[in-house]
Structure formats: C-alpha cells, structure tokens
Structure 1
C-alpha cells in the first residue's frame, strides 16, 4: 500500500527525477536501532540496540534499452551500543532505483556475509512509504545466498520499507524470514531504526 505526500513533508522543488527517492538524498544518523536476531554463540534469539550511519547519493541515469532508471547509491553501517569505537556489526551497500515509466522502486543490496537481494514493488512519484519485497526463486525480485547459509539459515522471504516522516526524519523496517536447520524452526530477523539528516548534498558544500 502506498501513501501520498502530505503537508507534514517539506515541499520539494525541482524536476524530482528521483521520484519518491528524492527526500532520502543526504547523510543520516540514528541512535534508536533495534535488531532482533538469533545469536549463535549463546543459542538464543535476542534484541540488540544500535547506532547507525547511512548515506544516499545520486548516481548517473541508468539506461536498459528503453528503460530509464534514476537512483541512489547507498550504504548503511551499524554499531552495537557500547561498541561504537569498535568494528560495526552490520554493513551493507547497494542501490535504490526508480523506474518512473513502470511505477517501480527497487532495492539492490549486497551484504558482506554472502547475500545478494533485488527487491521491489509498485510506487508513485510522491509516495512517502516505499516497500521492497523479494522471495527466493522469483525471476525479478529474488534472493541469493551462499551455500553455507542455504544449508543452515535459508532465507525464505525478505520485506523492508522506508517511511519519510518529515523533511529531516526517516525510518525503516526490515524483516528476513529464516529457516534455521539446526533448530528446525522458522524465525524473523528484524531491524528498525529512525534516522535524522545530518548533511545535505549541495554543490556549495566542500
């Protein structure tokens, strides 16, 4: 389900070639992240709070024959609270893409643990909620993972969303449905955070 921008979102000027991705451009930080996941060392499912930095920067137009894609390259890095001066526990890189002619948004993401996902759904140019869905084996929006994970923690479904709260605030949710072979159960690995803009990208800035 999509939502139309309203008065709570700041007015955006210009041609809006990035469509609903336009408000994401910039650098962001969030300190209220919550990760619910299975902890292998302790053999428990538990919550972890985290601090996060994210960056969304425009890329050149991508042309696949008649298809034109506008988009952002992005990165999201998270540190557990109390470990901000140490290595992050999560790092991802990818692209968010806007296909205006077909009314589609896409999230093309790779994770360092050997997972690649192309997720997407319908969207309008002024939507303030963006949804990204993928399933293993889907010919368009699918999931790939390395053999070790396939045997032990196979991903059965991926859903995520970004919400534009106002001109300086966004939030997101993410849900990976995993089949844990050792435990013989299916679980949800979820993440959520609220991010505030700390930098806008502008030619006048060094």
Structure 2
C-alpha cells in the first residue's frame, strides 16, 4: 500500500512522485510550418521534490511537489525542452492540480478529480486537463497567442512502483491550423 502521508503532510496520489526519474523511450510529435509533422525520439530527466504543505486563505491545505523536466533529442543529444512546475493535491476536494511553465512565455494550470480508492498497491493513475478560458487555464505572451496559441492541455500519468508512463497533448493553433502536439514517455526512478 502506498503511504500518502509524508512528514505529516497528505500528498495523496502525489506521494509516488518524489525522486529522480530518467527515460530513454520518449517520442515528441510536433508541427512543421509546411503542414507536416516532426517526430523526435527523446531522452529525459524529471526531478520531483517535496515542497510540503501550503495553506491558502487559512482554509485550504495542499500537499505540493515541485518538478523540473529536461528533454534531449536522441539524434544529437541537444536539450530542446525545459519545464518547471508543481503537482498539487487538495485532499479535502479530492483534486489534483498541475502547473507548467516553459521558457516560451507559456504557463498553464490543469486540474482533475482523483478517487483515493483507485490507488492499487504501488500503482497510481492521474489525469489532469486545461482549456484556454476555462477554470484550468492558459497564460501566454501576445506573440505566442498570435503565432502558436496553446488552447488546451492534458496529461495522463501512470506510476507503478519505480516505473512511470505518461502521455500528454498540447492543443495548438499554429501555422494557420489546429495541431495536437503529443509527447509520450516511459521513465524509471533512479534515486529516491
């Protein structure tokens, strides 16, 4: 059974995240200006660190885990993505929240419900989503809004012991069309 209380803080399903995770089996599918798509196999590292609890307005207490993701093209080893954010658990509401910030002047907040009864031994499956203009929204610079607008986001994350699999889609309006930019990866925890 997964221990969800760490140092007196309820992290709910996020208790499975802390540690350093590495993966060699990622695939990024991105749009090209000519209407085609680019497929980039990638490796990555994600560091998840416990922040602790955060109290909002004296009423809401959250369990918070910070993350930093670095992604490298397998073809040349160059880093092509850097992402920072937080995974947040609200035990009173049964809600998982996720923030994402990338150095293209785009940030978002995604959320989703989580049933603690769905946790199975070491296995957890979390899904969150965001939609521009919705409760879980997107903020982006005027340039990005006009040239590569993010209209939504979703991620499905599954952790089973020391193995993590995720599938995410960033919904874009780019190059005069809509495009579902996808990333899929499998990682293993290499240190706690």
TM-score by structure 1 length? 0.84
Name the residue aligned to 1:168: 162
TM-superposed CA distance for 1:141, in Å, is: 0.8
Deviations 1:147-184 (A, max 9, x none): 111111212221111111x211011111011112x4x3
> How far does residue 108 in structure 1 lie from its aligned partner after superposition?
1.2
The question of whether the paired residues in 1 share the 8 Å contact of 2:131 and 2:138 is answered with yes
Q: Partner of 1:189 in structure 2?
A: 181
Shift of 1:14: 6.4
Partner of 1:55: 47
Map 1:91-110 onto structure 2 (within 5 A).
91-110=82-101
Larger fraction in strand: 2
Superposed, 1:4-153 pairs within 5 Å as 11-13=1-3, 15=5, 17-40=10-33, 44-64=36-56, 65-84=58-77, 86=78, 88-125=79-116, 127=119, 128-138=124-134, 140-153=135-148
User: What is the rounded CA distance, in whole Å, between the counterparts of 2:91 and 2:103 in structure 1?
Assistant: 30
How many residue pairs end up in the alignment? Answer: 183
> 1:43: how far off?
6.0
Contact 2:44/2:71 (CA < 8 Å) preserved in 1? yes
TM-score (norm 2): 0.89
Alpha-carbon shift at residue 60 of structure 1 (Å): 2.4
Aligned-residue CA RMSD in angstroms? 1.6
Flag structure 2 segments of 5+ consecutive residues without an equivalent: none
Alpha-carbon distance, 1:15 to partner: 3.0
Contact 2:64 2:89 in 1 (8 A): yes
